[in-house]
Amino acid sequence: MKKVILLMFIFTGFVFSQENSPDKLIEKVKANFNKVKDYEVDVHITVDVDFMKVPEADAKIFFKQPDKIKIHSKSFAMIPKEGLQFSPNNLFGQKYSAVFVRNENLSGYNTTVLKIVPLEENSDLILSTIWVDNKDFVIRKIESTTKSKGTFSILLDYNINKTKYSLPVSMKFQFEVKNNQLPKDMHGESDKQRASRKSGKPVKGSVIINYSNYKVNKGVSDSVFREEKK
């Protein structure tokens, strides 16, 4: 009887470890995203930053595997590079260690929470926490701390039944950076901004990006990504 109980305990532990294997879960996320060879999509960008007025903007994003991206916009917006250029390939493109933290219900989705620790000394990333959807194998939330760009979090929403791919329909990017890391032409327009800069307090902000009119795997030409001559 004791042997049976011991075998059951070992088997249960093996199943638990397999289900919560960070590397296997990440491979599923990457494989899911890699079904997308290229895409173009329209985006609407809304920016909310402390003490600043930033106009809303419309843009078109072009992407091609593994890491080509181009943003076309006729109007200005403070666009977060980490948000618009986010993909699982970028997040896991360097050597890292992944650690299982817990299972968590996130807004009704069953997720696995993982810690991602970069192993390369020159990495700007210090630590990331990600929430992986255990059903659709997409990343629903990220919290990251970096050496040069402060901290940020990304919340992603999907409609896979509509898009048929693991591509977001909306993203909320929240960040906290030092005031002197913002573009110079956005500084000093008000007494509050000047006071904030002198105090050395970090600036908080958020960017909401809504995606529409996806065109996936239709073939995006390499010429789209060439730099235009000034």
Please check the confidence at residue 132 and state whether its pLDDT lies above 60: yes
Please check the confidence at residue 140 and state whether its pLDDT lies above 90: yes
- pLDDT value of position 148: 79
Q: In this structure, are residues 203 and 50 in contact, taking their beta carbons and an 8 Å threshold? A: yes
Average pLDDT score over residue span 106-132: 92
DSSP assignment of 151-202, as one string?
Answer: EEEEEEEE-HHHHSSS-EEEEEEEEEE-GGGS-GGGSSSSHHHHHHHHHTPP
Q: How confident is the model at residue 185 (pLDDT cuts 50, 70, 90)?
A: very low
Of 162 and 183, more confident: 162
Average pLDDT score over residue span 192-209: 70
Q: Give the closest residue to 64 by CA, choosing from 221, 229, 227, 226.
A: 221
Q: Round to whole Å and give the CA distance between 25 and 40.
A: 27
Please check the confidence at residue 229 and state whether its pLDDT lies above 50: no
The alpha carbon of 123 is separated from its chain's Cα centroid by a whole number of angstroms, namely: 17
- pLDDT value of position 155: 95
DSSP assignment of 117-146, as one string?
Answer: EE--TT-SEEEEEEEEETTT--EEEEEEEE
Give the three-class secondary structure for 81.
Answer: helix
Q: In this structure, are residues 165 and 181 in contact, taking their beta carbons and an 8 Å threshold? A: no
Q: Round to whole Å and give the CA distance between 161 and 143.
A: 26
| Domains of the chain, CATH where assigned | 21-219 (2.50.20.10)
64 C-beta neighbours (distance < 10 Å), count: 19
Q: Which of the residue ranges 80-94, 164-178, 188-202 would you say has the lowest mean pLDDT?
A: 188-202
- pLDDT value of position 153: 92
Q: In this structure, are residues 130 and 113 in contact, taking their beta carbons and an 8 Å threshold? A: yes
Q: In this structure, are residues 42 and 60 in contact, taking their beta carbons and an 8 Å threshold? A: yes
Q: In this structure, are residues 52 and 193 in contact, taking their beta carbons and an 8 Å threshold? A: yes
Token pair 């994003």 in the structure block, residue: 61
Q: Which of the residue ranges 26-30, 90-94, 100-104, 106-110 would you say has the lowest mean pLDDT?
A: 90-94
Q: How confident is the model at residue 128 (pLDDT cuts 50, 70, 90)?
A: very high
Q: How confident is the model at residue 10 (pLDDT cuts 50, 70, 90)?
A: very low
Residues ≥6 apart with Cβ < 8 Å to 49: 78, 182, 203, 204, 205, 206
Of 182 and 35, more confident: 35
Residue pLDDT, tens place only, 14-61: 334 445 689 999 999 999 999 999 999 999 999 888 767 778 889 999
DSSP character for 15?
Answer: H
Q: In this structure, are residues 87 and 61 in contact, taking their beta carbons and an 8 Å threshold? A: no
Give the three-class secondary structure for 49.
Answer: strand
206 C-beta neighbours (distance < 10 Å), count: 16
- pLDDT value of position 67: 83
State residue 13 phi and psi, 5-degree precision. Answer: -65, -35
Of 74 and 78, more confident: 74
